[in-house]
Amino acid sequence: MSLSQTRMSLNDGAGTYFRSRRARVSETLWAYAFLAPSLVIFAVFVFYPLIRTAHQTFYQPGLYPDAPQRYIGWEQWTDVLGDSDFHATILRTLLLSLMTVLPALVLGLLLAWLVNQPLRGMSLFRIVFSTPVATSVAVASLVFLILLNPQGGILKVDWLTRPTPALMSVALTNVWQNLGITFIIILAGLQSVPDDLIEAAKIDGAGPWRRLRSVIIPTISPTLMFAFVILTIVSFQTFGQIDILTQGGPQDATRVIVYDIFTNRGSDPGAAAVKSIVLFGGLVLLTFIQFAALNRRVHYGD
């Protein structure tokens, strides 16, 4: 919704580009003035740490607080990038992302679509399906831990102690955790679908399934894409669930990049820095690919 609005306002305002040069300059200055506060915050909490991290990849820190750092060039980069364990970690992260994003998107769409039907009591379900948003990662993970613990749990299943089911359990927790925000985003998109569009489809004889497939999904595709990108980024940054449920185990089966960085940070800060930059670069790249690939298929509406 928000994306399509932005796009439309850009189109509407196309005329402003042809105004005088002076007006344009002052407009740009105003824009920077308004951006300044967020730029400062970004600079202090994002850009500066990012640069420090990049810098750290070339140095080996000493052990005591004021110990001199030793410049070691690309050594840590080649170590990390050539490490087969790290390759496995990247693959595992992609797998977890896949197992999180797709089910969350499908379930979120399904729930939002169901709740969007004009029936009694839907507002209750709207609240119920949004609740994961208000649940902290720690609480959600503890709930799943209590459900799944093989010795004292409620289901008493052996999922967290075996490699493949453990990763799937983390994905399950992830899906549940992210379902709320996905649901809210998609529901907002659904509510912006013009009624006349649906009416027209009905008159053309389209059933509910056909309306969903051919009218609603294409119309809300910018929203779906937004949810897709957000979910991908969130799933790449999964941490709390893993720390509480499996701590990267069993046998590294749930050791994804973020958790790998976390466990490296004390014993091998250089490797942790390299991995952080790799994760950052990977996410930027992935987001660009998603926008590039999906922009063509996304219908922004005119």
Give the residues lining the site for other proteins (CB under 8 A): 17, 28, 32, 39, 43, 47-48, 51-52, 55, 60-70, 149-152, 161, 163, 246-247, 249-252, 263, 266-268
Closest to other proteins by CB, 125 vs 280, is 280
Residue found by looking up tokens 């750092």 in the block: 69
Count other C-beta atoms under 10 Å from residue 143's C-beta. 14
Cα 23–Cα 25–Cα 29 angle in degrees, nearest 5: 115
Closest to other proteins by CB, 47 vs 106, is 47
Closest to other proteins by CB, 191 vs 288, is 288
Closest to other proteins by CB, 69 vs 136, is 69
Count other C-beta atoms under 10 Å from residue 38's C-beta. 9
Closest to other proteins by CB, 55 vs 87, is 55
Task: Give the residue from 233, 195, 231 showing the smallest Cα distance to 216.
Answer: 195
Q: What are phi and psi of 250, to 5 degrees?
A: -75, 140
In sequence order, which ranges of 135-212 are alpha helices (DSSP H)?
Answer: 137-148, 163-191, 195-203, 208-211
CB of 63 to other proteins, least distance (A): 5
CB of 30 to other proteins, least distance (A): 13
CB of 165 to other proteins, least distance (A): 13
Closest to other proteins by CB, 136 vs 214, is 136
Closest to other proteins by CB, 9 vs 123, is 9
CB of 130 to other proteins, least distance (A): 29
CB of 208 to other proteins, least distance (A): 41
Contact between residue 170 and residue 97 where contact means Cβ atoms under 8 Å apart: no
CB of 5 to other proteins, least distance (A): 18
**Cα 260 to Cα 91: distance, rounded to the nearest angstrom:** 13
CB of 126 to other proteins, least distance (A): 35
**Cα 73 to Cα 270: distance, rounded to the nearest angstrom:** 11
CA 22 to each of CA 25, 29, 130, 229, 301: distance values in angstroms, whole numbers, following the listed order: 5, 11, 48, 38, 33
CA 244 and chain centroid, separation: 20
**Cα 145 to Cα 246: distance, rounded to the nearest angstrom:** 9
**Cα 33 to Cα 37: distance, rounded to the nearest angstrom:** 8
